[in-house]
Amino acid sequence: MKTEYVRLDPQHPDPEVIRRAGDILKNGGLVAFPTETVYGLGGDALNVEASGRIYAAKGRPSNNPLIVHIADMEHLPTIVTEIPEKAFALANVWWPGPLTMVFNKRDIVPDTTSGGLSTVAVRMPNHPVALELIRAAGGYIAAPSANTSGRPSPTLAEHVREDLDGKIDMILDAGEVRIGLESTIVDFTDEVPMLLRPGYINMEKLEEVLGEVLVDPALSGGNADGNMRPKAPGMMYRHYAPKAELTIVEGDEAAVVEKILELAANARKAGKTVGILAADETAGAYSDYRVRDIGSRRTDKEIARGLFKALREFDRDGVDVILSESFETPRMGGAIMNRLLKAAGNRVISARGDGPFGPKNFDPKGPSPRAVYNEP
């Protein structure tokens, strides 16, 4: 299949292109498009065959459900059975935006879209291209992140092309995304709302609107074995993984720098190429190595936006080993570390000298959020 690649103005997309892309979706085809979080791989959410094609193009297990993207609030009751007051309140504040909410689904949503679950995840993205495309497609686009399953999510259209060229009908390129990490997912199918995936909207922001919010125990490993089944099936899989072996080093700043330099020297001695992922504040210390400075710890927005891109760039460089500082920043630290730990398969070394350790308890409000990578 030839993949058509079109550049668009992110604020004022050409209506003719949007109409054509909408037609492709209405006919069961696949179009990758920008959102404010990451690029999505869109198909008609109400078309059984379209979701089948999405799974095939991504190489994704078909029991991992897709998020349905809508552009207008009045489309929500068509696909879900019940919308709790609190969900309305959260939508009021955060939709359109980097928020996905899980509800009980109506039969109109095919089981292929919901991965066989009786629930459906819904999001209203905050991006003019996404919103206009959803409307042009008839109102409901199923869209996972537009990467090959297991690879870092795409924050540029070029990343989509890298993974999906020849496998989908069209890629809409509107430049780099704003946020760079996937949406926060909150489940509303039980009495008390539950966080299933951390994102730009952190626990503090959720609690401001919702009051009590539970955290899926699987985010912290849940039990001593760390093998509890997460409520968001996708959180179970190896994710975001670069080809190189990635290790996170955590601890006090000076100790981390020292430990990374030691590990890097050892790897180099063993004949391996080393890449280092560091914050602005400390990147200068590693100038002997291939270092990627992904932004300041003070403005963690840059770190969030640059993380997946940096992992892909290390792949392109062909490094054997990646050593990463840990980024437990105040606002998005929980989400950043959730993705980085998955990418590292939870390989963490403490620079304080107590060696590699297993999952610690995840305190979403605390300074050291942890998640666990469970082998599927």
113 makes contact, choosing from ligand TXA, Mg ion, none, with CB < 5 to 8 Å by partner type, with: none
Q: Which of 43, 362, 367, 23 is nearest to 215 (CA)?
A: 362
Report the C-alpha gap between 161 and 5 in whole angstroms: 9
Convert residues 32-71 into a mask of x (bound to ligand TXA by CB under 6 A) and - (unbound). ---x-xx-x-----------------------xxxx----
Report the C-alpha gap between 15 and 367 in whole angstroms: 46
Footprint on residues 324-363 left by ligand TXA (CB under 6 A): none
Footprint on residues 138-167 left by ligand TXA (CB under 6 A): 143-145
220 makes contact, choosing from Mg ion, ligand TXA, none, with CB < 5 to 8 Å by partner type, with: none
Cα dihedral: 145, 181, 130, 10 (round 10): -120
By CB under 5 A, residue 145 contacts Mg ion = yes
Structure tokens at 227: 């093998």
By CB under 6 A, residue 216 contacts ligand TXA = no
SS3 262: helix
CA 246 to centroid of chain Cα atoms: 18
C-beta closer to ligand TXA: residue 45 or 323: 45
Footprint on residues 264-293 left by ligand TXA (CB under 6 A): none
Residue pair 32/172 in contact by the 8 Å Cβ criterion: yes
Footprint on residues 72-111 left by ligand TXA (CB under 6 A): 100, 102
C-beta closer to Mg ion: residue 47 or 145: 145
**Candidate list 137, 174, 185, 195; residue touching ligand TXA; CB under 6 A:** 185
C-beta closer to ligand TXA: residue 190 or 252: 190
Report the C-alpha gap between 97 and 127 in whole angstroms: 8
By CB under 6 A, residue 232 contacts ligand TXA = yes
Report the C-alpha gap between 147 and 41 in whole angstroms: 8
Site residue total, Mg ion (CB under 5 A) = 1
**Candidate list 4, 233, 255, 313; residue touching ligand TXA; CB under 6 A:** 233
Report the C-alpha gap between 57 and 111 in whole angstroms: 18
**Candidate list 47, 51, 112, 114; residue touching ligand TXA; CB under 6 A:** 114
By CB under 6 A, residue 239 contacts ligand TXA = no
247 makes contact, choosing from Mg ion, ligand TXA, none, with CB < 5 to 8 Å by partner type, with: none
- Residue 61: CA count within 13 A, CB half-sphere: 12
Q: Where are the alpha helices (DSSP H) in the chain?
A: 15-26, 48-58, 76-79, 85-94, 128-136, 157-164, 203-210, 253-269, 300-317, 333-343
**Candidate list 125, 306, 333, 334; residue touching ligand TXA; CB under 6 A:** 125
Can you give the binding site for ligand TXA, defined by CB under 6 A? 35, 37-38, 40, 64-67, 100, 102, 114, 117, 119-121, 123, 125, 143-145, 182-183, 185, 196, 231-235
